[in-house]
Amino acid sequence: MTATGTGSTAGLKVVGDGGLSRIFSFPETVNESAARTVAAGVVMLCALTLATQWHWLTLVLAYGFLARVLTGPTLSPLGQLATRVVVPTLGLPDSPTSGSPKRFAQGIGATLSSAAVAAWLLGASTVANALIAMILVAATLEAVLGFCLGCVIFGQLIRLGVVSESACVDCADITGRLNAAQSHR
């Protein structure tokens, strides 16, 4: 990868506004319909993992969350399926919402799913199942009700002063987003 870029990352040149800096970014706004579609995919993966005890699927789950934290939908199979296939095919509305709290929520999912992978690898299947169940509950709330638990936590962190309000102006008062999400049901 060479061009008129400046700097390099791990030996690869970063190209101006493109290249790695564009891949490893998260959108300022995301489509709520796509986020809910991704959550539905997470629900299916969690349910399948718990029903079959195929804990290797937790690796897929963890990869997806990590990919979405680092790149939004760019390197996420569920993100690509949602944004390029499901949302356009079903004609779901383009409902923009702030990206920062969604990224935070994906970070929580990445943490829980990575911990589930570690628990599974250490032979603690019950712990892995409990962590997967936690993800299942949060993803179900998002997919079915449009209620993003991670977004609510993010908003609380802003109100407590742990996160700067400038990280997400819309997050300081999430009631408008919650009302909008419920009207799309």
pLDDT in tens, 173-182: 555 555 655 5
Note the pTM of the prediction, 2 decimals.
Answer: 0.79
pLDDT of 21 strictly over 80: no
Is residue 127 assigned to a domain? yes
pLDDT of residue 163: 80
For 57-66, what is each residue's pLDDT tens digit? 999 999 999 9
Give percent of the chain above pLDDT 90: 63
pLDDT at position 179: 61
Kindly state whether residue 31 falls inside one of the protein's structural domains.
yes
178 compared with 74, residue with greater pLDDT:
74
Q: Which structural domain range is residue 112 located in?
A: 27-183
pLDDT of residue 88: 95
pLDDT tens digits, one per residue of 120-146: 999 999 999 999 999 999 999 999 999
115 Cβ neighbours under 8 A, 6+ residues apart? 131
Res. 6: pLDDT tops 80: no
Asked, for residue 50, whether it belongs to a domain, the answer is yes
Specify if 100 maps to a domain: yes
For residue 10, is it within any domain?
no
Per the domain annotation, does 20 fall within a domain? no
Residue with tokens 């449009």: 146
Residue 6 lies in a domain: no
Q: How far is CA 177 from the centre of its chain?
A: 17
Question: Strands 12-13, 29-31: parallel, antiparallel or unpaired by DSSP?
Answer: unpaired
Q: How many domains does the chain have?
A: 1
- Is 58 among the domain residues? yes
Q: Which pLDDT score is estimated for 147?
A: 96
